[in-house]
Structure 1
Amino acid sequence: MTTQAVELSQEVLDLARKLPEEMLLKAKKHGFSDYQIAHIFKTTETVVRNLRKHLGVISVFKTVDTCAAEFDAKTPYHYSTYEEENESVSSDRKKVIILGGGPNRIGQGIEFDYCCVQAVFALKEAGYETIMVNCNPETVSTDYDIADKLYFEPLTFEDTIRIIEHEKPLGVIVSFGGQTPLKLSTKLEEAGVTILGTSSTGIDLAEDRKKFGALLEKLAIPHPDYGTAICFEEAQMITRRIGYPVLVRPSYVLGGRAMKIIYSDDSLKEYVDQALFISEKYPLLIDRFLETAVEFDIDAIADSSDCVISGIMQHVEAAGIHSGDSTSILPYHNISPEVIATMKTYTQILAANLHVVGLMNVQYAVQNDHVYVLEVNPRASRTVPFVGKATAVPVVKIATRVMLGEKLSDLRQQYDLKDCDELGMKHLAIKEPVFPFSKFVKSGVYLGPEMRSTGEAMSLADQFPEAFAKAYQAANMELPLSGSVFISVNNQDKNQRIITIARELFRMDFDLVATAGTHQFLIDNGIECKKVFKVGEEGRPNIFDIIKHGKIDFVINTPRGEKALHDEEAIGAASVLSNVPFVTTIEAAEASVQAIDCIRRQEFGVKSLQEYSSYRNR
């Protein structure tokens, strides 16, 4: 017996003296998890679990009859409890367990549920019994007729390992449910569970900032300067080295939670002081923020020897806005072939070195034609459903077959697989986020690294302006065809781009209104516009008053820096309250003006998704 095992046995015995079987069983019946019990008795979850198993305090599964005993239920579902009889019968078929995404929340939505359901279909086609584990009744994966068996259980190690021990599957898929099941991969693998797809080692290498940074250095792949810190002094040393602005975030976050762009020492100290949990294990991550860069999302399918680039999405907004909040275009436009080739090469190298089997997502920033890797997620990303529908390639189905052991090289021929930029798409697809600002006015409307969107819409068209106009309409944002436009841009955006935007709006007979700096810039360039007071300036009415009284039909406002963002929140709030469409980046303004012109000039045609995807059959 190893030293560790002896120590563990002693720990279990020590706990048994404090926690007799009757008390342990009572605690479990009252819903206390192993983790909670371990916290109370100042021990580990493993010790509590081993004591439970030693004493035979093990949960059983009860069945929910989906036909209320009127008919024989072919697809009942199960939940665990601490009673006597186990009603879940495990078959001897070859089976795979899929871990779902758990509760839907910002950063973890139904895009992942789509992946889980498509994986179930692929597994059934391959002859496997499918077992779904999820705890969200508002998802398709928990519909009674999707998987062969459904366990309505929390996505925790304790609940998941109990199901695995009972069902004895060939393997478990953790990479289709987002970040929640991904966090279980290491503990499951340590418990002897076979993880189908990328191993927990590869997942940890991508998730751990220090390990991932070291890998990028080794592979000579460019990335923004970064550092990790557990206190303000360490954070300040890092910013001295890499310079402001910086992007600061906690470790292992979902949906960019608590991420912020910092411009000064004072703001950095305020952020660190307010951080809820910083430690050696969970340090703050600090990255150099690349202003004005263009961001890209790349989705890929890989195995041990091959990699297919399934989607290359270009963000409309500049870097600094969470990928889930960005308007994404597929295929990309106005980007040099050399930049695309570089991103594809980096993606293939990263897939090979992370030993990715299945899906992966890489986020890039491109500044002055230099490509920087921002992060890698060795799992399904929220863009997978969008990519699959836009390209007519069954991305999840192919990835599932790869995870089951099939070679990507063999599947290339079967599905006519090519990299996304080689497919010859005849149309353009846009992913447009949907925001809850009308319901949460005080939450702030300006986009940043922390995700805000609660949904998304997709549009398809043959040309960019029409696709963008459709995307706006799908996201319930009605662009005006006439009226007044308010323009206020930061100094960096006072360039030819805003001049072109203003001239186009003027050509379409819009009246232009601007604050002092932007007004003077437009007047100096021969564009007629009216001057209005900023919020906080002496003099009324100011722009807040004008928007509130319904005299503005569209808002273009691009604040930069902390003070500007704070001052201009009032404009965004007024726009939401008055149901006035607004954009906060120059890129979105350009796209919006093109869309307005498109709506004024033509009626949109309607095609089915199958018609758009017919290019694959030619």
Structure 2
Amino acid sequence: MAEKPHKVLIIGSGPIIIGQAAEFDYAGVQACKAMREEGIVSVLVNSNPATIMTDEGIADITYIEPLTIDMVARIIEKERPDGLLPTLGGQTGLNLAVGLADAGILEKYNVRSLGTPIQTIRNAEDRELFKQLLISINEPVPGSYTVTTLEQAKEAARELGLPLIVRPAYTLGGTGGGIANNWEELESVVSRGLSNSPISQVLLEQSVVGWKEIEYEVMRDSANNCITVCNMENFDPMGVHTGDSIVVAPSQTLTNKEYQMLRTASLNIIRALGIEGGCNVQFALDPASSNYYVIEVNPRVSRSSALASKATGYPIARVASKIAVGRTLDQIPNQVTGKTMASFEPALDYVVVKIPSWPFDKFSPNNRVIGTQMKATGEVMAIDRCFEAALQKAVRSLETNRKSLLWEAPEWEWASDINAFPLEPNDLRLWAIASALRKGITPEEISERTRIDLWFTKKLRNIVEMENKLRSGPLTQELMWQAKRLGFSDEQIAELVGGSSSHISELRETWGIQAVYKTVDTCAAEFDASTPYYYSTYEIENEAKPTNREKAIVLGSGPIRIGQGIEFDYCCVHASYALRDDGYETIMVNCNPETVSTDFDTSDKLYFEPLTVEDVLNIYRTEKPLGVIVQFGGQTPLNIAAELEKSGVKILGTSVNSIDIASDRGRFREMMLQYGIPMPESGTAESLEEALEIAKRIGYPIILRPSYVLGGRGMEIVHDEAGLRQYVSTAVKVMPGRPVLIERYLENAIETEADALSDGEEVIIPAIMEHIEYAGVHSGDAACVLPPVSLPKKHIDTIEEYTKRIAMELKVVGLMNVQYAICDDIVYVIEANPRASRTVPVVSK
């Protein structure tokens, strides 16, 4: 074993951005734990307070500071680490490590880059160096030129021909890149790419749009031992960023020859780069000839690494960290299985499907096109025994208005021509394919148009054929069994056969058709692994054996999206930690592969399942816990809390009724009036007529707030009747059938918020925050300071008094956040949320 460092600096990834999300918090936490196991002091620097990695006790020494060369240089000067782990902080970590090396900081303080040498980062990230390295080991690359000016790009394009893929160097999520189909697009995309690249360099590459995109996650140690952790196949062909593509693991359409060919190439590449740790390699594979090109390599833990880790049960970040400090694969036990070493390649006896989560529904949906520049804010993952079931499970994990593949846009209803369906890359393409198949368009026609492999479109046809069987009836026990095996939810079956989902659930129970749970054990049941990590399927044997311990279920927050981010996962993780410390068995339910909550050692048991009533009820009836905690996962668990309670689930903490009072704008206003707590003049409307009447009474400008939403979705300031009419006809669709609060907009008001904690008898207020912007900027978009700097003591006292009174009247047991606006020397209550809020991690830190 190589000499171990004594103190290691770990660089975090900073704020959540598109292309760099919670997967790096998961990686950083695993790295810190690995250092402690090895007896190495860990020093962590990160600027994101909403992370588990920046919690006290994760790293030995933590700095919450800006991720700049100057700041990290000061930390290195003070702490004097002898090792640097740059590969766990995404592109931010890599770029900062190269910057520190270029500035001479690493050499000055004798800090060596662990796992991935600085030159390896340059070789992988610098497009020209990477191309030359691949050529030197006889790996095929598309025809390309590396350019640093627009003139060079035009000259290269004349030689290569259009279309071209533009890939900026040292960027994340395809930032600044794109496809140039004509000269005008070339000028635009290259200019953008050069400005986004820290070294003003882009690669112009011959287009392989339409080829299969395949990824391999590989590991290598200092003894040159290499393994493949997982290979993944993109449902969408080349031309869509892998972060925006549906991804399937393991690959489903490769021949054994193709699989082995790309595996060999991946191992050749990681050896040539000299990486000690993990590496992601992306390939383009021509389905007609089996020729391939190497597209790019990520010499670090990546989004795909997190997906591969959760898909296989192989703890990539932990193993990579141990390799970086000198361990070899055969010296590292796989903690997930408890039986194998890290040198044992995972084997899967199930199918994993990842679907991205896009922000198009929250903002203007006019441009839903996806391409080589990533737009997804998060993703969901589902596991089942076949592709159809895993896909359908992933669809219902997304939590959009498209609850299943049955959803169709109104304009598709009578369409019969293939051109009527949006089959170009966009976030609705999966539903468009299903709709086209229902209208008689063949899988062959769809595959020819989209270049999606025929295997996938035929699998989608299997789902449509089952829909037709259910529609034509009758619903027999055998047909129900077949439908459940293909991933149909009770709600879907009810929609197809008629009746309610509760009736279908009862019928299913009567017939003895129940979900069972299988183990994610990395070894396809070759060993009797002890993994407490499960997925549901419809078979006979149940591998999730409930214990007799007192236990509680924590419902996670699902995919990261605008308004519901990593902060809620932070709260769920802490709920699990706290319950475990108190001696309870903890059970986590979530569907997000990027997060710490879905790591193998966060809870006693992990169920990787959609956060729907049916899926949670199945787990509840299997485990028989004391109850379910819904207040930490944002709006996701709250939206199903009432239905869960109706089905006999005990909700722990704040009651469903109290949650409903706070979420229903009308009920909450009545409570405030009853206790003499001021609110802006308002009214609730469920129709345009009611809205116009209330607006006339209050006067413009007004602010409209839908009930039961998160992150201000559907919220808008309206200045006149025309604006109100337009709002009611469009934005009310956000939550149909639920009232909209119409409220006098307090102009030039100071906005504040208070976080509170209550046990039902005593209320503690850890912090009051003052927003820097005036009211009218959503609290999630507002800069804020704590403690408040300009509020007089009388207003602070009033805020504390109102917060305590609201918590007691709502009978809050747990967390609560209350937002206030101060206008004309009056403190108004805007809203109360009796659940975790995005401010909890900030206030905690």
TM range (shorter): 0.5 to 0.7
State the alpha-carbon separation in 1 of the partners of residues 95 and 147 from structure 2.
22
Which of 367, 373, 381 lines up with 2:294 in the alignment? 373
- 1:588: Cα distance to partner? 7.1
2:51 paired with 1:130: no
For residue 473 of structure 1, what is the aligned residue in structure 2? 396
How many Å apart are 1:116 and its aligned residue?
0.6
> Which of 290, 298, 309 is the aligned partner of 1:388?
309
Q: Does 1:105 align with 2:17?
A: yes
**CA spacing shift, 1:116–1:239, aligned 2, 3 Å:** same
Compute the displacement of 1:264 (Å).
1.5
1:119 correspondence with 2:31: yes
Change (3 A) 1:302 1:460: same
* Mapped contact 1:216–1:223 kept (Cα < 8 A): yes
Q: Aligned with 1:141: secondary structure? A: coil
How far is the alpha carbon of 1:616 from its aligned partner?
A: 5.5
Displacement of 1:594 after TM fit? 4.1
CA contact (8 A) 2:177 2:192 kept: no
Partner amino acid for 2:141?
H
Q: 1:424 to 1:240 in 2, by over 3 A?
A: same
The match for 1:415 is 340
Secondary structure (helix, strand or coil) at the match of 1:295 reads: strand
Q: How many Å apart are 1:585 and its aligned residue?
A: 9.9
What letter corresponds to residue 336 of structure 1 in structure 2? T
Tell me, in whole angstroms, the C-alpha distance in 2 between the residues paired with 1:589 and 1:489: 17
Counterpart AA for 1:388: S
Q: Residue 349 of structure 2: which of 426, 432, 436 is its match? A: 426
Distance 1:591 1:606, change over 3 A: same
Partner letter of residue 184 of structure 1?
L
Q: What is the rounded CA distance, in whole Å, between the counterparts of 1:160 and 1:384 in structure 2?
A: 26
Change (3 A) 1:399 1:293: same
Where does 1:256-275 land on structure 2 (aligned, <5 Å)? 256-272=174-190
Residues 22-101 of structure 1: matches in 2 within 5 Å? 94-101=6-13
1:549 aligns with none
- Paired position in structure 1 for 2:634: none
Normalised by the length of structure 1, the TM-score is: 0.67
- In structure 2, give the amino acid aligned to 1:479: S
Contact 1:428-1:462 within 8 A present in 2 as well: yes
- Out of 450, 456, 463, the position equivalent to 2:386 is 463
Query: Aligned pair 1:153/2:65, yes or no?
Result: yes
Residue 311 (structure 1) aligned with residue 234 (structure 2): no
Range 394-403 or range 595-604, more displaced: 595-604
Equivalent position to 1:203, from 108, 118, 121: 121
Deviations 1:139-183 (A, max 9, x none): 221223422221101111111121122122231211011010111
**How far, CA to CA, are the matches of 2:360 and 2:436 in structure 1?**
29
Segments of structure 2 that go 5 or more residues without pairing to the other structure are 425-430, 471-481, 488-513, 529-845
> In 2 relative to 1, CA 457–339 (structure 1 residues): closer, same or farther, beyond 3 Å?
same
SS in 1 for 2:20: coil
Residue 142 to residue 213, structure 1, CA distance change in 2 (3 Å) = same
State the 4+ residue runs in structure 1 displaced beyond 6 angstroms. Answer: 501-507, 556-560, 583-588
Cα 1:194/1:230, change in 2 over 3 Å: closer
Distance 1:473 1:598 in 2: 17
Contact 2:164 2:180 in 1 (8 A): yes
**Which residue identity does 1:401 align to in structure 2?**
K
Q: Distance in 1 between matches of 2:361 and 2:433?
A: 31
User: Does the 8 A contact of 1:230 with 1:279 survive in 2?
Assistant: no
Q: Secondary structure at the match of 1:473?
A: helix
List per-residue Cα deviations over 1:102-129 (Å, max 9, x = no partner): 1110011111111111111112222223
Deviation at 1:234, TM superposition (A): 2.1
Per the alignment, in what secondary structure is the counterpart of residue 383 of structure 1?
A: helix
CA displacement at 1:279 relative to structure 2:
9.3
Partner in structure 2 of residue 163 of structure 1: 75
CA offset at residue 431 of structure 1?
1.5
Partners in 1 of 2:262 and 2:332 — Cα distance?
23
Which residue identity lines up with residue 447 of structure 1 in the other structure?
A: I
Please tell me the root mean square deviation across aligned C-alpha atoms, in Å. 3.6
- State the partner residue of 1:45: none
State the match for 2:371 in structure 1.
448
Instruction: Output the CA distance in 2 between the equivalents of 1:441 and 1:587.
Output: 34
- 1:402 match: 323
Q: Residues of 2 paired with 1:557 and 1:447: CA distance?
A: 18
User: What is the one-letter code of the residue matched to 1:392?
Assistant: G
Query: What amino acid is the match of 2:245?
Result: S
CA distance in 2, matches of 1:128, 1:606: 44
The residue that corresponds to 2:535 in the other structure is none
Aligned-partner SS, 1:617: coil
Change (3 A) 1:359 1:559: same
CA change 1:607–1:391 in 2 (3 A) is farther
Correspondence for 1:254 = 172
- From 223, 242, 245, give the equivalent of 2:160: 242
Q: Deviations over 1:176-206 (max 9, x none)?
A: 1101011122324344322211110111011
Q: Does the CA-based 8 Å contact 2:143-2:205 persist in structure 1?
A: yes
Distance, in Å, in 2 between the alignment partners of 1:279 and 1:124 is 36
Is 1:602 matched with 2:492?
A: no
Matches within 5 A, 1:270-309: 270-272=188-190, 277=195, 281-304=199-222, 305-309=224-228
CA distance in structure 2 between the partners assigned to 1:303 and 1:602 by the alignment: 45
Deviations 1:407-434 (A, max 9, x none): 22444897344675xx442111111111
Contact 2:173–2:243 (Cα < 8 Å) also in 1: yes
The one-letter amino acid of 1:617's match is F
Give the Cα–Cα distance (whole angstroms) in 1 for the partners of residues 434 and 245 of structure 2: 24
Provide the TM-score with structure 2 as the length reference: 0.49
Cα gap change, 1:598/1:201 in structure 2, threshold over 3 Å: closer, same or farther? Answer: farther
Deviation at 1:217, TM superposition (A): 1.3
| CA contact 2:220–2:275 (8 Å) conserved in 1 | yes
> 1:460-519: CA deviations, max 9, x gaps?
00111000111111112423448737564599x99xxxxxx9999688xx456xxxxxxx
Number of residues of Structure 1 aligned to a counterpart in Structure 2: 455
Distance 1:148 1:503 in 2: 51
Q: Is residue 166–residue 193 contact of structure 2 (8 Å, CA) maintained in 1?
A: no
- C-alpha spacing 1:441/1:482, structure 2 compared with 1 (3 Å): closer
Sort the Cα spacing of 1:322 and 1:607 in 2 relative to 1 into closer, same or farther, 3 A.
Answer: farther
SS at match of 1:277: helix
Q: CA deviation at 1:586?
A: 8.3
Name the aligned partner's letter for residue 322 of structure 2: R
Give the C-alpha shift of residue 291 in structure 1. Answer: 2.2
In structure 2, do the counterparts of structure 1 residues 168 and 231 end up closer, same or farther at CA, with 3 Å as the change threshold?
closer
Separation in 1 of the partners of 2:279 and 2:403? 35
Structure 1 residues 124 and 596, CA gap change in structure 2 (3 angstroms) = farther
Whether 2:533 is the aligned partner of 1:615: answer: no
Query: Does structure 2 retain, via aligned residues, the 8 Å contact 1:221–1:346?
Result: yes
Does the CA contact (< 8 Å) of 1:294 and 1:319 recur in 2? yes
Cα pair distance change 1:503/1:403, threshold 3 Å: closer
Q: Report the Cα distance in structure 2 between the residues aligned to 1:268 and 1:504, rounded to whole angstroms.
A: 34
